[in-house]
Amino acid sequence: MFQETVTILESRQIADNVHTLAFASEQIAGATRPGQFLNIKPNSSLDPLLRRAYSVHRIEGDRVEIIYNVVGKGSAIFASKRPGDPLDVLGPLGVPFHYEGEYATAILVSGGVGIAPMPVLGAALELLGKRVINIHGARTAGMIANDGRLIDPRFATDDGSLGFRGNVVGALEHYLEQEGDSDLRVFACGPNRMLSALGGFCTARGIALEVSLECQMACGIGICQGCPVEMGTGDRKYTLICTHGPNYDFRDIILDSLPSVH
């Protein structure tokens, strides 16, 4: 992990309330693995005080990109950044997705800005020779955050304005009925409610599910102990999402122990 003041290359809005920010860093681009995150200071002010944690969305050469919703003081500052502005970035952080192993198809399920880790994960899975399918959901077509980087995308919208009408769990069920795929794993990122519903579905069908959790963090490196998730297995009651996660086998955690983020 590195702490680096980088230079912003691009800052833009790509969908309703969905923004991306790209910067150049050879060392962060080179070291980041699928599912890892960055902890970024909005500016050098004491208010907002803390860094903000974001998954790495894309890596191209030494260009690193994050994707986010504007939800508060920190993200509003990110949205006002312009190319050339400096950015204080700490990362890459966290344990990557556990995506190696014997299986044929990886289904990457994301909701809203839960799309964040999927392009980097998809690319790594293709290198391993896996078949990759993305199922991405949002409330309506205008909020779909796809920027053309998802491999084999299927969309789901609550209002049916794009793709499957319904949520991503319905879309996954629909896909499985159509394709009859069985040698698969699901990787998911999105609101806790979505992960919870998906977890129920996958558990009932015996499908392996790894979830990437979002939560408020202070340090991102294990020293503040501020980001616990309750464990359903093992001998520890809690692990820290920053250093033990953010990517967990769904069966290992008690998702309902977490406060909902949005």
Partner 1 sequence: MPSTEITIRNVTFRNPVLTASGTFGYGLECEAFLDVAQLGGVVTKSISRKPRDGNPPQRIAETTAGMLNSIGLANVGVDVFLQSKLPLLRERGATTIVNIAASSIEEYCEVLEMCEEHEGVSGYEINVSCPNVKDGGLNFGTHCPSVAQITRELRRRTDKMLAIKLTPNVTSIGEFARACEAEGADAVSCVNTFIGMAVDVRTRRPKIATITGGYSGPAIKPIALAKVYEARKAVRIPIIGIGGIMSAEDAIEFMIVGASLVQVGTALFIDPAAGVKIARGIEKYLVEQKIDSVRDLIGSLDTSMQPSLVAAGWS
Give dist(CA 48, CA 130) in Å, integer: 42
Where does this chain bind partner 1 (CB under 8 A)?
1-3, 41, 46-51, 215-219, 221-230, 236-238, 243, 257-259
What minimum distance in Å lies between the beta carbon of 195 and partner 1? Answer: 15
Q: Which is nearer to partner 1, 189 or 240 (CB)?
A: 240
Q: Which is nearer to partner 1, 103 or 238 (CB)?
A: 238
What minimum distance in Å lies between the beta carbon of 92 and partner 1? Answer: 11
Q: Maximum Cα–Cα distance for the chain, whole Å?
A: 54
What minimum distance in Å lies between the beta carbon of 180 and partner 1? Answer: 39
Q: Which is nearer to partner 1, 90 or 156 (CB)?
A: 90
Q: Which is nearer to partner 1, 66 or 93 (CB)?
A: 93
What minimum distance in Å lies between the beta carbon of 223 and partner 1? Answer: 4
Mapped to the 3 state alphabet, what secondary structure does the chain carry? CEEEEEEEEEEEEEECCEEEEEEECHHHHHHCCCCCEEEEECCCCCCCCCCEEEECCEEECCEEEEEEECCCHHHHHHHCCCCCCEEEEEEEECECCCCCCCCCEEEEEEEHHHHCCHHHHHHHHHHCCCEEEEEEEECCHHHCCCCCCCCCEEEEECCCCCCEECCHHHHHHHHHHHHCCCCEEEEEECCHHHHHHHHHHHHHHCCEEEEECCCCCCCCCCCCCCCEEEECCCCCCEEECCCCCEEEEHHHECHHHCCCCC
Q: Are 17 and 70 in contact (CB under 8 A)?
A: yes
What's at 69, amino acid-wise? N
Q: Which is nearer to partner 1, 72 or 83 (CB)?
A: 72
What minimum distance in Å lies between the beta carbon of 83 and partner 1? Answer: 25
Q: Which is nearer to partner 1, 51 or 57 (CB)?
A: 51
What minimum distance in Å lies between the beta carbon of 86 and partner 1? Answer: 15
What minimum distance in Å lies between the beta carbon of 260 and partner 1? Answer: 9
Q: How many CB atoms lie within 10 A of CB 241?
A: 27
Q: Which is nearer to partner 1, 72 or 160 (CB)?
A: 72
